[in-house]
Structure 1
Amino acid sequence: MSIRPPDGGRPGTPGEYGPFEPPASYGTPVPDGAPLPYGSPALYVPRAARELAALAVVVPAHDEEALLPHALAALRRAARHPALPVRARVRVVVVADACADATAALARAAGAHVVQVGARNPGRARAAGAAAALGLFDEPPERVWLASTDADSLVPANWLARQWRWGARGWDAVVGTVRPLGGDPALAGLLRREAALYRAAGGARHPHVHGANLGVRADAYLGVGGFPSLATGEDRALVHALESRGHRVLRTRRSPVGTSARLHPRASGGYGARLARLALLAAAEETEPVRGAGPV
């Protein structure tokens, strides 16, 4: 999907998204360039960081014909956000991984660049998508930003604009949060409790990592070897490698991505799997007899 904001799109204005969010992970931008256009004048970014030219969104998908069109529609809206610079070149890469439905056809019809693999492995799928995305631009890696989301997720309208802006501020990667969408009405109370615990975890520096809300500068991504070929946890492994190498990683709660609260997730070990386990525990608690209670 090749999308450009409409002509006349305006750049973001100071304070449009609120005050500058302080660093919340390893490393901070270092004095090696002009002052930041937003936020504290004491912070600086490397000169190369101001020269982003392209942004690619990688979307792995396994039999997602029902939800993928909605995910791509949300990405189209985000690519047209007025705070995203007009010069930004945006491409969407859908990785159809072992699909037996119309996922690939729907992605092509929506204008996405489609990569088909048979790995049935999220790590390999994300890596294949990133490699294909880098081949779409005639730009050095330091000028390309790789964003990642999922086929069952809806990014907010300002998601790409913020990813771009954080990259321009000198961050090497951005690790965001998610919020559940839909789900079984009978589990509404469970989902609310889980959401409250999720929001409270870690304070300002949240501990969560989701492939549905992730972004990284391509040179940093390549420098740590990219997404590993893992069936689960490839996103966490990538972020761990970035932090271990001293890259500037921003963990932020802004612009959370809505993701399906379905209890039969496509990938094992992810957010959906956690919700499924919680649902099983809730069902077990409801059927377990009260200790000490005799027959009525």
Structure 2
Amino acid sequence: MSNFLCGRRDRGPGVIHSSVRAVGVVVPAHQEADLLPSCLAALDLAARLLPGIAVHLVVAADACTDRTADLAAAAGAVVVDVDLRNVGGARRAGTLALLRRTTDLDPRTLWIATTDADTLVPPCWLSRQLRYAEAGWEAVVGTVTVTDWQDYPPHSRGRYLERYAAGRAGAWHSHVHGANLGLTAAAYLAVGGFAELPTGEDHALVAALESAGRRVLRTTAVSVVTSARRSPRAPGGFGHLLAGLDSRRSGPREEPDLAEGRERRAGLGGRR
């Protein structure tokens, strides 16, 4: 389903000349037994396109009473059980577990990528990030694509695309999504990592990176497919903003996650 986000040269394994020695993927999850298996299958395919590079998969199962943790373990992921009901805290806990498993590595050679349990990454998701890392970028901030609009009124898709496009200028964009973010462990540690926020931890991290003068690439060339489900996990996050598209009210309206980056606040937006 997400293969269309990759070019032909991205779809097979190849040699990546990168200083990165290992990759860690962190997925926060709360009651995600239905969608997590597809997410992990897509991540497994992306990992297979990194020959010679160790890939660590960590699922932070946050207050889960369903089979989320069991399914993650069955897929080979390291499972971190937390009871926070907080996406920022879960993402932080998962990243901490990853860092503890890779203490033998120079933080400059560990790439941390994060996505969400209701998201499908394309096969080239990790390989493209590492190519940017080799070019000197310390963080890569990608975009999201929504393909399933069956639960929304006909006008919602067009309204979403219009507002999302308003935050783009060529290959640059103003959006930030925890579902599509990667950075070196050195950069992550330098700014204190993910904040324990119920939503917006992704925006807060990227803002800290940019304020610290880290090399942050915002690019539409790295994209993922995420759900438009009606039961979003993060309060005030991406799912709630999609639900707001149902309104037919006219006139200008603020949509924090679809507006320009300068309008973001550390405690707003994000998704899970």
TM-score, reference length from structure 2: 0.83
1:247 matched to 2:219? The reply is no
- Alpha-carbon distance, 1:54 to partner: 0.4
Q: Which amino acid in 2 is paired with 1:238?
A: L
Q: What residue in structure 2 maps to residue 60 of structure 1?
A: 28
1:165 matched to 2:169? The reply is no
Q: What residue in structure 2 maps to residue 153 of structure 1?
A: 119
Q: What residue in structure 2 maps to residue 190 of structure 1?
A: 156
Alignment map for 1:92-241 (pairs within 5 Å): 92-137=57-102, 138-204=104-170, 205-241=172-208
1:71 matched to 2:39? The reply is yes
1:266 matched to 2:270? The reply is no
Q: Deviations over 1:59-105 (max 9, x none)?
A: 00000000000000110111112xx3x22111110000011100000
Q: Distance in 2 between matches of 1:87 and 1:196?
A: 41
Q: Secondary structure at the match of 1:99?
A: coil
Q: Distance in 1 between matches of 2:140 and 2:13?
A: 24
Could you tell me whether the CA contact under 8 Å between 1:176 and 1:253 is conserved in 2? yes
Residues 228 and 74 (structure 1 numbering): CA distance in 2 closer, same or farther, change over 3 Å?
A: same
Match of 1:275 among 215, 218, 242: 242
Superposed CA RMSD in Å reads: 1.7
Q: Distance in 2 between matches of 1:111 and 1:169?
A: 31
Could you tell me whether the CA contact under 8 Å between 2:159 and 2:245 is conserved in 1? no
Q: Secondary structure at the match of 1:177?
A: strand
Q: Distance in 2 between matches of 1:103 and 1:184?
A: 25
Could you tell me whether the CA contact under 8 Å between 1:55 and 1:164 is conserved in 2? no
TM-score, reference length from structure 1: 0.76
Could you tell me whether the CA contact under 8 Å between 1:171 and 1:249 is conserved in 2? yes
Q: Percent identity?
A: 52
Q: Deviations over 1:12-66 (max 9, x none)?
A: 6xxxxxxxxxxxxxxxxxxxxxxxx8xxxxxxxxxxxx42100000000000000
Q: Which amino acid in 1 is paired with 2:141?
A: V
Q: Distance in 2 between matches of 1:10 and 1:95?
A: 30
- Alpha-carbon distance, 1:144 to partner: 0.3
1:10 matched to 2:10? The reply is no
Q: Distance in 2 between matches of 1:184 and 1:9?
A: 35
Q: Distance in 2 between matches of 1:73 and 1:192?
A: 30
Q: Which amino acid in 2 is paired with 1:66?
A: D
Could you tell me whether the CA contact under 8 Å between 2:92 and 2:193 is conserved in 1? yes
Q: Distance in 2 between matches of 1:195 and 1:64?
A: 27
Could you tell me whether the CA contact under 8 Å between 1:179 and 1:195 is conserved in 2? no
Could you tell me whether the CA contact under 8 Å between 1:264 and 1:276 is conserved in 2? no
- Rg larger in structure: 1
Residues 119 and 257 (structure 1 numbering): CA distance in 2 closer, same or farther, change over 3 Å?
A: same
- Alpha-carbon distance, 1:116 to partner: 0.5
